[in-house]
Amino acid sequence: MIVIAPSSELTPDQIARFIHSLGLELNVKETCYGANIEGPRDIVRKALSEVRKLDPNRIFSKIRAFPIGDERRCRAHHGSRPGFNQVEKEWRDLSMIDVALCAADLGEICELPPRPKQLPVKRLKEIADEVSK
Amino acid sequence: MKVFMIPPNSLILYDLVERFGHQPLSLMGELRDHVVEPEVESPPLNLSQDDIMRGLKYAGIEVPSGIRGRLAIWGPMVDEAEAAIIMHDMPYTFGCVGCHRTNLMLTYMVRRKGIPTLEVHYPHDDNEAKVMVSKIKAFLEGL
């Protein structure tokens, strides 16, 4: 399952056409978020590495449990789609991961600012006294 | 190395683990082997009778069947794992990863196994994402 980040300028159609142009023995299906590819493991890996070169930090992938066009999941056959909400949420956030991957490539050291210190009990008492006056 | 991830169906974690040169142990990969077998006919029944019995290794009979059913699939993946990444506070806690008790049990199993484990939080902005990715990168490169 190939997913294009929202920040990418590539379209699912371009990805699908590119995979077809590789001439590999794969089953390809264009989807709204990218493309699904299916075939022998080594050929899928080869295709994936070629596709990634188009936009390395904005093309993501994961394995999909159900085969392409499986009647139990495929919308054309009124299949249920219980996992889509999660993919949709993660897809929206891929732009952040893209920024982070670019920063990692540049060797940027990223650390969150330290958490604010806890309020001492003495100060809390003072605040309580001020408010209760 | 085989890296287990929580949530086990995360697109972001799966991609990062594979991108940095390791083998992700994912729920989708595991279920792929199940759903192409003739024993499993249709969702939501993604398990067979044998899977439920296998789940007894990870959760007792008095544990709700939903937890046992999930652990029947996820438990063997934890057994197989050589490292793990746990992502806390994921915003999508419904569907197959929606059972909080299973998630707690799974986190406990991973911690108890004593394998190298990284715990991160789901990012909400670019800075948090940078921190998460840099931690994951350093962790995976150091394995």
Dihedral sign of CA atoms B94, B96, B99, B100 in order: negative
**Gap from A71 CA to chain B (nearest CA, Å):** 9
User: What pTM value is reported for the model?
Assistant: 0.85
| Among the partner residues B36, B95, B131, nearest to A111 by beta-carbon distance | B131
Give the count of beta carbons closer than 10 Å to the beta carbon of residue A28.
20
pLDDT digits 0-9 by tens, A74-105:
666 666 666 677 888 888 999 999 999 988 88
Task: Sort strands A59-61 and B23-25 into parallel, antiparallel or unpaired.
Answer: unpaired
Which of A48-62, B39-53, B57-71 comes out lowest in average pLDDT?
B39-53
**Nearest-by-CA chain B residue for A71:** B42
pLDDT over 80 (residue A10): yes
Q: How far apart are CA B139 and CA B118, in angstroms?
A: 7
For position A113, what pLDDT does the model report? Answer: 67
Q: Which two tokens stand for residue B133?
A: 């990715």
Reported as a pLDDT band with limits 50, 70 and 90, residue B12 is very high
Q: What is the ipTM, given to two decimal places?
A: 0.85
* Mutation site, B5, B6, B10, B15, interface A, largest A CB count within 10 A: B15
Q: Which CATH class is domain B2-47+80-141?
A: alpha beta
Higher pLDDT, B33 or B13: B13
* Domain extent at residue A71: 2-132
Give the count of beta carbons closer than 10 Å to the beta carbon of residue A118.
8
Verify cis geometry, omega within 30 degrees of 0, for the bond prior to B7: yes
For position A78, what pLDDT does the model report? Answer: 67
Backbone angles phi, psi at B50, to 5 degrees: -65, -35
- DSSP code of A110? -
Q: Indicate the number of domains in chain A.
A: 1
pLDDT digits 0-9 by tens, B58-92:
888 888 888 888 888 889 999 999 999 999 988 87
**Gap from A91 CA to chain B (nearest CA, Å):** 8
- Per DSSP, the residues of A13-65 read HHHHHHHHHTT-S-EEEE-SSEEEEES-HHHHHHHHHHHHTTSTTTEEE---S
Q: Where are the domains of chain B?
A: 2-47+80-141
**Gap from A127 CA to chain B (nearest CA, Å):** 32
The residue-averaged pLDDT of A60-68 equals 87
b/e B70-100 (16+ beta carbons within 10 angstroms → b): bbbbbbbbbeebebbbbbeebebeeebbebe
**Residue A91 with chain B: CB contacts under 8 Å:** 11
Task: Sort strands B83-88 and B117-121 into parallel, antiparallel or unpaired.
Answer: parallel
R_g of chain B computed on alpha carbons:
15
| Among the partner residues A85, A86, A100, nearest to B129 by beta-carbon distance | A100
